[in-house]
Amino acid sequence: KRWGCIIEVIMGRVFLFIKLISENKKHKEFIQSQLFSRITYLPQLSPPVFLALCISSMQLLLSCMFYNKLIYINVRKAEEELGELEAKLNENLRRNIERINNEINQLMNQMQQIETQQRKFKASRYSILSEMKTLKEKRQQSEKTFMPKQRSLQSLEASLHAMESTRESLKAELGTDLLSQLSLEDQKRVDALNDEIRQLQQENRQLLNERIKLEGIITRVETYLNENLRKHLDQVEQEINELRETEGGTVLTATTSELEAINKRVKDTMARSEDLDNSIDKTEAGIKELQKSMEHWKNMEKEHMDAINHDTKELEKMTNRLKQLFPKPEQCNTELKKYSHALDQFVNFSEQKEKLIKRQEELDRGYKLIMELMNVLELRKYEAIQLTFKQVSKNFSEVFQKLVPGGKATLVIKKGDVEGSQSQDEGEGSGESERGSGSQSSVPSVDQFTGVGIRVSFTGKQGEMREMQQLSGGQKSLVALALIFAIQKCDPAPFYLFDEVDQALDAQHRKAVSDMIMELAVHAQFITATFRPELLESADKFYGVKFRNKVSHIDVITAEMAKDFVEDDTTHG
């Protein structure tokens, strides 16, 4: 029993120690199996053997403890080394990924550049094809225009041969050389036309040869474009498709050799694209040169055809002229027969000429008399205007002084010449100045007069003279009445009708106007409409105008009724 208790205590401590020192499950199970295999024999052992077994078990535990500690240290070192390796691996992996991403971006940029160049190649190819198409169309048009011109040239040559044969036949008929009948200048012109026709024919043949050469060059350019340019474009498209296929998820895991191969292919593609650019530039330059040469030859052809047409027209004119010259001798003889009575006609014409000269002299004398009469009439008209202006100006000054005591007014006649801007003096001074100017010129004309101006001063001072535009409304009314009264004195009318002419005047001026009307009423009748009492003092008869039911009624009223009406209107006005 005592040994059993000791064994239980030892085994409990041992298992606790195993739990503490052993973290590995397999290692723990191995120690437990070894201890259990030894514990099963404990009841059968003697105390010395039991002690030996305990000592061996302790040795086993200590060895396990040391081994576990050693394993723990190694594991820690391995974990640290593993962490360092993982960090280095992650750093290297990150760098490789960045490098691969940069290379991928470069490849993408290069692919975009290649696609851009491919689009440029396609656009240039389309432009070249369109230019070739336009060149073909122009060539067809030139052929279309050239053929009728060639036919017209042939017809002209045939007509020229026919005309030459006609000329030869005419020579044979007349027995004389046709050219000898022409003038020296016409013969030189005919020879020059013949030389120019031969030269144009030779240039036409040269143009045909040049056109054949140009057609061969255009055919070679089309063949070169179809064989080389399209082949290069197909290769570029194939390489771009290959680059796009390698653009997937395998790019990240691609090796450096593959990237270098891709870079090499891209460089080769760029080099080929540059070669294509150079070849396209050369082709475009060749096409432009061909176009320039074609335009040049077309212009030359047009100029030559115009020259041929011009020469043909000139030749036709010469032929027509020759045809017209054949009947000329007979016509000249006929015309000479008409002038057989030329001497008699000359005598008759001489007599008619003398009569016409006498008639012209009579007409000149009549014209001179008419001009003198017109000058006299013009002078009389001028003097009549001057006299009338003098009288009206004098009356205007007198009437204005009566209406405005202490005031001064003058009429100014305006001229259209250089001196027209200078105003004339009033009254007699104006008439004398105009008469003096009339004496200076041979015949004064009334066309120089452009109008009449008025200058007034209500204070009588010369420095305060003003034009009509500078006056107030009442002053303008007073000046207008003064001018009417002045004209009335010069050329009186049978009656005058005034409608409220005193509306803008003050009482003093209304009284003056009333007195002037009373003075002039001896030779004329004045009918006035007024709402002021001053004009009623000198009136002979009064009429009242009333407005009832939208109808005006006129009644004869007395002076008292008129004054009451005017005063009432003034009071309630």
Complete DSSP assignment for 77-95: HHHHHHHHHHHHHHHHHHH
Cα-trace Rg, the chain:
68
Contacts of 160 (CB under 8 A, 6+ apart): 197, 315
Q: Is the pLDDT of residue 407 over 80?
A: yes
> What digits encode the pLDDT tens for the residues 220-259?
666 666 666 566 556 656 665 665 555 444 444 444 555 5
- φ/ψ of 542, rounded to 5, equals -130, 140
Model pLDDT, residue 435? 46
Percent with pLDDT over 90 in the chain: 3
Model pLDDT, residue 169? 62
Helix (H, G, I), strand (E, B) or coil at 523: coil
What span, in angstroms and rounded, lies between the C-alpha atoms of 108 and 243?
9
Helix (H, G, I), strand (E, B) or coil at 422: coil
Q: Which two tokens stand for residue 369?
A: 């008399």
Percent with pLDDT over 70 in the chain: 50
Contact at 8 Å (CB) between 8 and 39? no
Model pLDDT, residue 369? 92
User: Residue 276: is it exposed, middle or buried by C-beta count within 10 angstroms (0-12/13-18/19+)?
Assistant: buried
Q: Is the pLDDT of residue 344 over 70?
A: yes
Which segment of 247-256, 299-308, 330-339, 374-383 scores lowest on mean pLDDT? Answer: 247-256
Residue with token string 């975009």:
112
Q: How confident is the model at residue 21 (pLDDT cuts 50, 70, 90)?
A: very low
Mean pLDDT, range 356-379, rounded to an integer:
90
Across-strand partners of 552? 547
111 vs 562: which has the higher pLDDT: 562
Q: Which two tokens stand for residue 313?
A: 């027209």
Contact at 8 Å (CB) between 122 and 233? yes
Q: How confident is the model at residue 47 (pLDDT cuts 50, 70, 90)?
A: low
Of these ranges, 120-134, 357-371, 398-412, the one predicted with the greatest mean pLDDT is: 357-371
206 vs 519: which has the higher pLDDT: 519
Mean pLDDT, range 341-359, rounded to an integer:
83
Model pLDDT, residue 331? 74
Separation in Å, CA 316 to CA 148, 164, 419, 514: 20, 12, 70, 99
Mean pLDDT, range 299-313, rounded to an integer:
75
Contacts of 283 (CB under 8 A, 6+ apart): 128, 221, 224, 225, 229
**Amino acid at position 28, single letter:** K
Helices (H), 326-420: 328-338, 342-403
- φ/ψ of 324, rounded to 5, equals -75, -25
Model pLDDT, residue 370? 92
Which segment of 181-190, 366-375, 410-419 scores lowest on mean pLDDT? Answer: 181-190
Handedness of CA 303, 307, 312, 316 (dihedral sign): positive
Q: Is the pLDDT of residue 473 over 50?
A: yes
**Amino acid at position 440, single letter:** Q
Question: What CATH architecture is 492-573?
Answer: 3-Layer(aba) Sandwich (3.40)
Give me the torsion for CA of 453, 457, 461, 462, rounded to 10°: -10
Contacts of 369 (CB under 8 A, 6+ apart): none
Cα angle, residue 418 at apex, residues 416 and 419 outer, rounded to 5° = 90
Strands 495-499 and 525-529, how do they pair?
parallel
501 vs 242: which has the higher pLDDT: 501
Model pLDDT, residue 470? 82
Q: 10 Å Cβ neighbour count for 302? A: 12
What span, in angstroms and rounded, lies between the C-alpha atoms of 262 and 412?
108
> What digits encode the pLDDT tens for the residues 507-554?
888 888 888 888 888 888 999 998 888 888 888 899 998 888 889 888
Contacts 24+ apart (CB under 8 A), 548-556: none
Answer yes or no: pTM beyond 0.85.
Answer: no
84 vs 275: which has the higher pLDDT: 84
Which segment of 22-31, 57-66, 194-203 scores lowest on mean pLDDT? Answer: 22-31
User: How large is the greatest C-alpha to C-alpha distance in the chain, in angstroms?
Assistant: 201
Q: Which two tokens stand for residue 549?
A: 């039911």
303 vs 455: which has the higher pLDDT: 455
Across-strand partners of 547? 552
Q: Is the pLDDT of residue 485 over 60?
A: yes
Q: Is the pLDDT of residue 122 over 80?
A: no
Give me the torsion for CA of 323, 329, 334, 340, rounded to 10°: 150
> What digits encode the pLDDT tens for the residues 72-117?
677 677 777 777 877 877 787 778 778 877 877 787 787 788 777 7
* Phi-psi domain of 551 (left: phi exceeds 0; alpha: psi -120 through 50; beta: other): beta
312 vs 172: which has the higher pLDDT: 312
Mean pLDDT of the chain: 71
Cα angle, residue 70 at apex, residues 67 and 75 outer, rounded to 5° = 125
Contact at 8 Å (CB) between 457 and 464? yes
365 vs 237: which has the higher pLDDT: 365
What span, in angstroms and rounded, lies between the C-alpha atoms of 350 and 172?
51
253 vs 398: which has the higher pLDDT: 398
